[in-house]
């Protein structure tokens, strides 16, 4: 499967614990995005990387959330001191990147990681 | 603020009937509008974008800037069209703003 992969697919944790999710983008894609989707809602943007640089962060990304893409390939999203409100599907997407700024390029989504905080 | 509104959470139509999924947006500039689809147990995927003006799987969507709408239409629904549909916009080459989605159910 050459699409975006995410690990784990499901995570159940207790309130207060830290969790880390991994996303492996399509190999030649230089842009990587994280979204969060709660029940009955569409995905909400969290953050975006171009290569290893984190270029944008949503206000939804509180201090407890941190994302990295150290070598410009895979990315991790860590949530510290999880709260029940963090329960959601966390989606990763990647894209090839436009040749000029402002050019939209198709984002390809992974299967998501479903987090349940008890 | 930029926003995408899909007023219907669920739309149920009979096979062969026309389909229209409504989408309205708020953005003062010139956004790019899309429809994404998620079939059961599959990933979210792009269905169509307004710039390409294509018909994908029989679906079309016309951007109406006056009414700030981007409704998705298909003249004759098929059972395989049953899925979750998200209207979305982007105004720069990064984040996508999604609507809350409409579940389309096609009855045989």
Residue A30, judged by CB atoms within 10 A of its CB (0-12, 13-18, 19+), counts as middle
Please compute, for residue B20, the number of CA atoms within 13 A of its CA located in the half-sphere on the CB side: 6
> What pLDDT, on the 0 to 100 scale, is given for residue B95?
82
Residue tagged 């669920």 (tokens): B10
SS3 content of chain A, % helix, strand, coil (to 5): 5, 45, 50
Spatial CA neighbour of A91 closest among A30, A36, A48, A54: A36
Given a cut of 50, whether residue A47 has pLDDT beyond it is yes
- Dist CA A43 CA A33 (whole Å): 11
**B101 lies within 8 A of chain A by CB:** yes
- The first and second tokens of residue B67, run together, are 């009414």
pLDDT in tens, A94-112: 998 765 545 567 899 999 9
Mean pLDDT of B82-89: 96
- What are the chain A neighbours of B90 within 8 Å (beta carbons)? 104
Q: How far is A112 from chain B (nearest CA, A)?
A: 8
- Dist CA B36 CA B31 (whole Å): 16
- Dist CA B41 CA B32 (whole Å): 27
Q: Give the strand pairing for A10-13 and A113-117.
A: parallel
- What are the chain B neighbours of A56 within 8 Å (beta carbons)? 94-95
Asked whether the beta carbons of B43 and A111 are under 8 A apart, the reply is yes
**Contact flag A55-B94 (C-beta cutoff 8 Å):** yes
Q: Which residues of A91-105 are buried (b: 16+ CB within 10 A; e: fewer)?
A: bbbbbeeeeeeeebe
Among A23, A103, A104, A110, most B C-beta atoms within 10 A, so best to mutate, is A104
Mean pLDDT of A22-31: 94
Q: What band does A51 get if pLDDT is binned at 50, 70 and 90? A: very high
Q: What is the largest CA-CA distance in chain B?
A: 42
**Contact flag B43-A106 (C-beta cutoff 8 Å):** no
Query: In chain B, positions 42-71, which contact chain A (CB-CB < 8 Å)?
Result: 43-46
Residues 6+ apart with CB under 8 A from A104: A98, B32, B90, B93
Q: What band does B53 get if pLDDT is binned at 50, 70 and 90? A: confident
Average pLDDT, chain A: 92
Bigger pLDDT: A72 vs B74: B74
Given a cut of 80, whether residue A1 has pLDDT beyond it is no
Residues constituting chain A: 118
Mean pLDDT of B41-56: 88
């Amino acid at each position: 499967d050459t699409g975006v992969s995410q690990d784990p697919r499901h995570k159940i944790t207790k309130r207060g614990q830290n969790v880390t999710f991994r996303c492996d983008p399509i190999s030649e894609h230089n842009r990587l995005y994280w979204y969060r989707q709660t029940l009955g809602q569409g995905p909400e943007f969290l953050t975006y990387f171009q290569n290893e640089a984190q270029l944008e962060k949503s206000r939804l990304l509180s201090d407890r959330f941190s994302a990295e893409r150290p070598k410009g390939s895979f990315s991790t999203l860590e949530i510290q001191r999880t709260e029940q409100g963090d329960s959601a599907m966390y989606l990763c997407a990647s894209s090839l990147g436009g040749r000029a700024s402002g050019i939209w390029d198709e984002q390809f989504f992974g299967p998501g990681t479903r987090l349940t905080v008890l | 603020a930029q926003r995408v509104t899909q007023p219907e959470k669920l739309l149920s139509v009979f096979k062969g009937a026309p389909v229209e999924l409504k989408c309205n947006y708020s953005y003062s500039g010139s956004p790019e509008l899309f429809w994404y689809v998620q079939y059961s147990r599959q990933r979210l995927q792009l269905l169509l974008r307004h710039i390409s003006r294509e018909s994908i799987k029989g679906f079309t969507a016309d951007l109406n800037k006056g009414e700030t709408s981007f409704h998705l239409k298909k003249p004759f629904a098929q059972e395989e069209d049953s899925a979750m549909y998200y209207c979305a916009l982007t105004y720069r080459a990064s984040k996508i703003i999604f609507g809350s989605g409409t579940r389309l159910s096609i009855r045989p």
